[in-house]
Amino acid sequence: MTKTSKRLGMAAVGAVMMGGGLYAWSGMNPAKATFEPSRLATVEQNTMVRSVVATGKVEPIAKVEIKSKANGIIERLHVDVGDIVKVGAVLAELDKENLLARVREARANVQAAEASLQGARAQLEKNKVEAEGPEVEFAKRAARRAEDLAGQKLVAQSELDVAQSAYEQAVNRQRVAKSQLIVSSAKVSEASAQVAQARANYERAEEELRNATIRAPIAGMVLTRDVEMGSPVSSILNLGANATLVMTLGDIQEVFVRGKVDEADIGLVRFEQPARISVETFKDKKFDGKVTLISPMGTEKDNVTTFEVKVSIDNPGNQLKANMTANAEIILEEHPDSLIVPEAAITYDAARQAFVDLLDPNQQTGRRKVPVKVGISNGTRAQVLDGIRKGDKVILPS
């Protein structure tokens, strides 16, 4: 064998020995596991909040539908949507021409009735005097004197007859006057009733004239205006709820959201619990509110029972508008300086002991399973009371 052949053989043996050594070293030191960044989450320290969300529309605390008490045609409109009005402010006016004519007619009827009453009272006073019969006593004395003189043959029989006839006529007139007194009293009562009726009609006509001016019953904002100039308007006194809607007013200095809460969470909702309200228009702003109503009875729909909850909201500057869609986050619990991990990072064993997998480069698997004590959860993130530290990396399941 040549020297060259010997060298090649030794080199081959060395290569085989080196390869075997590397294989043995790799078997003793296997490659460590790595994880996708999306499967890693950092333990945060922040305020942990448990809440429920009630979604609904923004509504004014006070909202009034304005309807007219009088029938007519809209002649003037003094406000438009978005205007702020005070109590008693004139919102609209109906055509008043016919109403003014009714007022004048009613006033004339009152005057005529009052004149009739005065005439009836004057007739009554006249009948009272006649009923007292002042001439009866005078005629009676004249008849007695004529009778005495006739007995003494000092006057003729004809004069006695005249005196007695005058007395009898006076008595008859008194009797008629007394009977007429009842009739006159009745006519006074009738005339008084006619005056009262005429005055009532007059007051009604004036009331209808006042009703033709539609005023704001509350202070607030004009939310809707449902009529235009020349629109016919029907009276709420005649048609009730079917009367013409003129406009809607609302006090939006304080508003509320009426939402639904699942029966699983309603037991944790309390009166005057704080809430944070968000709307699409103000994405970076939260409005403060509180629970002001919890329905005592739930409603079932699609086999799901929910309870109505009302959350009142302060509305500085009237930024929130009626009918905006809002999410009212009702704060059930709030714990500052809490360690927080994703809910998915927590696993449980058969004994319901909670664990998380921490990223640990010193471990061959790249992870270390540690027991933790879990606090509250909001469904996506959980509070950890013990077992980990801020900044630790937890591994999420694949």
Tokens 């009630």 locate to 54
| Radius of gyration in angstroms for the set of CA atoms belonging to the chain, rounded to a whole number | 51
Predicted confidence (pLDDT) at residue 169 exceeds the cutoff of 90: no
Predicted confidence (pLDDT) at residue 98 exceeds the cutoff of 80: yes
The residue-averaged pLDDT of 151-169 equals 65
Nearest to 392 by CA among 346, 349, 339: 339
The residue-averaged pLDDT of 251-279 equals 88
- pLDDT: is 337 or 62 the higher one? 337
Look at residue 138 in the predicted model and tell me its pLDDT.
57
Report residue 26's pLDDT band, with 50, 70 and 90 as the boundaries.
Answer: very low
- Range scoring the smallest mean pLDDT among 136-140, 306-310, 344-348, 352-356: 136-140
The answer to whether residue 180 is domain-embedded is yes
Look at residue 307 in the predicted model and tell me its pLDDT.
93
Q: Is the dihedral of CA 48, 50, 56, 58 positive or negative?
A: negative
The residue-averaged pLDDT of 300-327 equals 88
The answer to whether residue 128 is domain-embedded is yes
Look at residue 369 in the predicted model and tell me its pLDDT.
93
The answer to whether residue 307 is domain-embedded is no
Look at residue 137 in the predicted model and tell me its pLDDT.
59
Report residue 92's pLDDT band, with 50, 70 and 90 as the boundaries.
Answer: very high
Nearest 5 degrees, angle CA 294-CA 297-CA 302? 110
Q: How many domains does the chain have?
A: 1
Specify whether the CB–CB gap between 384 and 341 falls below 8 A.
Answer: yes
Length of the chain measured in residues: 398
Give the range of the structural domain holding residue 198, as residue numbers without chain letter.
Answer: 97-211
Average of per-residue pLDDT values in the chain: 83
The answer to whether residue 346 is domain-embedded is no
User: Tell me: the pLDDT tens digits for 105-154?
Assistant: 999 999 999 999 999 888 888 777 666 656 655 556 655 665 666 566 66
Tokens 């729909």 locate to 301
Report residue 25's pLDDT band, with 50, 70 and 90 as the boundaries.
Answer: very low
CA distance 298 to 312: 20
Predicted confidence (pLDDT) at residue 5 exceeds the cutoff of 70: no
- Of the chain, the percentage scoring pLDDT greater than 70 comes to 79
Structure token digits, residue 319: 């930024």
Predicted confidence (pLDDT) at residue 4 exceeds the cutoff of 90: no
Q: Give 394: exposed, middle or buried? Use CB within 10 Å, 0-12, 13-18, 19+.
A: buried
User: Tell me: the pLDDT tens digits for 376-396?
Assistant: 888 789 999 999 999 999 999
Tell me the three state secondary structure of residue 37. helix
Look at residue 241 in the predicted model and tell me its pLDDT.
87
Report residue 176's pLDDT band, with 50, 70 and 90 as the boundaries.
Answer: low
Segment (H or E) for 322: none
The answer to whether residue 130 is domain-embedded is yes
Tell me the three state secondary structure of residue 340. strand
The answer to whether residue 89 is domain-embedded is no
- Range scoring the smallest mean pLDDT among 69-78, 130-139, 344-353: 130-139
Report residue 160's pLDDT band, with 50, 70 and 90 as the boundaries.
Answer: low
Look at residue 13 in the predicted model and tell me its pLDDT.
44
What's this model's pTM, rounded to 2 decimal places? 0.56
The residue-averaged pLDDT of 201-221 equals 92
Look at residue 115 in the predicted model and tell me its pLDDT.
93
The answer to whether residue 23 is domain-embedded is no
Nearest to 74 by CA among 95, 55, 54: 95
The answer to whether residue 197 is domain-embedded is yes
